[in-house]
A = this chain, B = another copy of it.
Amino acid sequence: MSEYQLYCFAESGPAYKVAFMLSACKLDWQPIAVDFLNGETRTSEYRTQVNEMGEVPVLVHRGRKLVQSAAILSYLAKETGKFGGRNPQEDYDILSWMLFDNHKFSSNLGTLRFLVVFAKTGETPVTEFLRARVMAALAIVEKHLDTRKFMIGNEPTIADISMCGYLFHPESCGIDFADFHNLERWKADMAQIPGWKMPYDMIARAAPKRS
């Protein structure tokens, strides 16, 4: 058994964040496939045995089940000494951007993506509302990257990894990234990190079916 097990599914941005980190840190990990699209995270078994919040990812390490991607990324940064801040001020800034990512950036993009790509709602007032929020969040990050190579200075941190949540999934949910030059440049830089792979190359191909 690997040192780390990750409850995940390949379509999940938050799961991708943690898989990216595990891979970039060269940790010994294996995925545990969660059948989200058929409702597994809503079952009482999942909620009592795996995660009461009903979400992925969940990282199993030393007998503990760790939830919330940003908390997991912080945990792994401490465990490995990689992709963390170099001082308390950088740690603060990293946490701030991960919070921004969780409540504005990945969250709205992920919800929009779910509706358009999987629930196939078509364009509705809800997708229009979410798309406006995504565009506002993208503009804030685009501006931030005007003067920085990565979110916190010149080296990638878990803040950057967190923000990659839904940016590499191949399906379009109607966001045109062409005007976000800094984001596109930053994405190319992120893809240079050893261990980076596209989401479906990171999880789906590796995930064994649970019997």
Contacts and interface: CB of A to CB of B under 8 A. Distances in A.
B68 A95 contact: yes
Contacts of A117: none
Contacts of A140: 52-54
A75 interface: yes
Interface in A135-194: 136, 140, 143-144
Nearest to A64: B89
State which size class the interface on A falls in: 20 to 34
Contacts of A53: 96, 100, 104, 140
Interface stretch (A17-25, A29-37, A122-130, A201-209): A122-130
Interface of A: 47, 52-54, 64, 66-68, 70-71, 74-75, 89, 92, 95-96, 99-100, 102-104, 107, 124-126, 129, 136, 140, 143-144
